[in-house]
Structure 1
Amino acid sequence: MSGEDYYIPAIALAISLAFKLPALRSNWRDPLLRSVCALLILAASVFTFAAPPTIDAVNRRTGIANVSAPLVYCLITAFSASCLVLMVNWRGGPAEQTRRVSRRWILGYSVVIVALIVLFALGEAPVERLRDFDTYYANTPYLGQMIGLYLLAHHVAAVVMVSLCWRWSLQVRGWLRVGLVIIVSGYVFNLAYDAAKISAVVARWLGHDLDDLSTYVAPPLAAVGALISATGFVVPLVCQRLSDNWQTWTTYRKLGALWQEVQMCTHSCTPGVRMSWWSAAELRVIQRESDIHDGFLHLGPYFDRSIRGGAYERALADGADAATACAVADAAMVAAAVQARSADPEGRTIGDGEESVFDTPDGPRDLLRISHALRHSPMVQTVRQQAALSAASGPA
């Protein structure tokens, strides 16, 4: 692989990190977000420092031959630990247990990193190797043990990740399952990378030459595996957020019929709050619900329980379930009240005053049902027309 083959995945991972940083700044205490960002940083660092041009530059600047080798090995080991910690935080559970398991993985891989540094310091690597350090020094005292240790640590993390993600994917659905399957696919490439590297190193230990597996086969497998795995971690978080936004905008849109129905009352008494076009969907839904409830307050004196009761009985007789019948009855009462309020421009209070506040015990869910009934129920349309005729023929 050339330098560009390493730098392109590093840039892609850095772009993914850039999309996550705003969320981290606003919620930096979230361990899941911190774990995702740490994983992306370490993955990008691995590709950056494993590129032959970077290896050459680091060796020259430090003046230590092959110092890039333990640096890259430590970054790979830290990346393995970050994947395990992210998985622990992602899966959740009791907070104390999650912190305890995370600390154990961090401590275990920290010990490995220290051991890698010590073994490199004890060994001798005078000949600079930009691409084949693993196989060239496989039989060198201490360096051979360093190479074997980092490969073992990486392999353990890959096996654990595949096992955890696959078992978890069988228990969940939706975007989370998609992400877990993607991670498993990525770690299959990581396992293939381990197989190529370990085969080449063991072959050296046994006096054979399978260096091409380590030099030419393993690096592309690592690049593909890291990109796929990082995508698997990011996709569920991003897609779930997009899905939540879609659901929020859908709620906002579905409330439109009810919101428009009560707008006359709201605007005639208190001006509505205008929101900027860039306002978040959640704020828009809250504002729309607030406008609707304000309209209910002004319509309260015009609500007629007899209209609601009659519409409810007719809806049940037509085969509607209880929840749908309630929504149709409420929508009919709202439609009739709007017509009565329109026929009373001076706002004189009518009725017995008992229905001063419109009751929606289940909150937004009821509002959605009522809005749907206002738009689609023939019974509500009939009640609206009858109320309009009654208001037009009644006294001003």
Structure 2
Amino acid sequence: MVFKIGLLGLGTVGIGTAQILLDSSGRNPLLEEIVVSQIGVRSLEKTRPIKFPPGVITTDLVAIVTDPEINIVVELLGGLEPARTMILQAIDQGKHVVTANKAVIARHGDEIYEAANRAGVYVLLEASVGGGIPIIKPLKQSLGANRITSIIGIVNGTTNYILTQMTTAGADFSDALVEAQHLGYAEADSTADVDGLDAADKIAILASLGFGERVQRESVYCEGIRKVSTVDIAYADKLGFVIKLLAIAKISEKTESRILQLRVHPTLVPKSHPLASVEGVNNAILVEGDPLGQVMFYGPGAGSGPTASAVVSDIMNIVAILKSNNHTQTLNPLLSCTHQHYCQITPIEAIETRFYARFLTKDVPGVIGNLGRSFGNYQVSLESVVQIGFKEELAEIVVVTHYVCEGNFRTALDEVRTLETIKSIPSVLRVL
């Protein structure tokens, strides 16, 4: 049997995907039955590292998704449009879809999956989170017997590279970003990465799969790394932490019903924690459940080869189903997505976490006592208070709290700002 693929997009991941499909030697024999029939691109003029037969590459994307001979449409265009429209048109034509597009799935997954379930086709997205790290299928299948309690991860290689350079080389944020762009780890417009938007898309997808309910992307609290300074990285190191951009989905404690925390922000991570040693462009996702306990998925989170590996694994999954003649039967619930209800999300001000805060104060007696009183007024308990040194004749004080309600902590900070001895609060970060 021969299974024809329509490939939308021939960028970095598209090229990697085509290379695997065109060179099946030494790989799974199933690949020998897969043919790249058509490839949709924005321009025919661009020079590409692979030569295809005449007529394979086209700018007519609609012709690909409506071609009756194509079994699977592989969407690697990126962005929201025309990717969303092409996916929906392919589904309407009864075609299965493989995508690496986390933005489309995070924002329009409801619409896409409802259409796919009506049409009786699969939409698989292993490559949308973690690059080459298998995490989507494990959450759907291997870990399906567990009651998942938390998913915490470093899911953006660009920001992890920047923070690693700031930590190991002492580079400031802007220099580390420029270097990441020069090496191809960051796009010219890196907003989605450094502002945490990419990570928020990914944790929305993982949370939906792990906790079995739909997630509204706009419910994910999001902070990026632009305000993280080398000063805070150095202080974190002295206190036994490293700073990472974490994507967190977890069951809120002290609630009678099942309510999730969903957030992305820079976080002080204890050096003893499994995620603390994840450096460079690597990703890692720590899943905790009952009865499993903890398991971590680690590896390259982006790039042509790793991401293409995940794309092709999804293609092979669908081809295996088509070969078994089960594609006309009810969709396999371990591969499809049938969530009906939206999960409840804890407002950020109601979560309980620890905090790190750095203050610049007048060098006079009673400053630390005043800080302690203001925090105590709002049930904020301090784990440690350290006067680090001086900065331009101002004392620099760092505090780390015990677990505290974020709303109480923020209200306490408002009072602290009114103290005559407090000149500024340069940074506030959460602690894992």
If you compute each CA radius of gyration, which structure gives the higher value, 1 or 2?
Answer: 1
Structure number with the higher strand fraction is 2
Higher relative contact order (CA 8 A, sep 6+): 2
TM-score for both structures, normalised by structure 2: 0.23
Higher helix share: 1
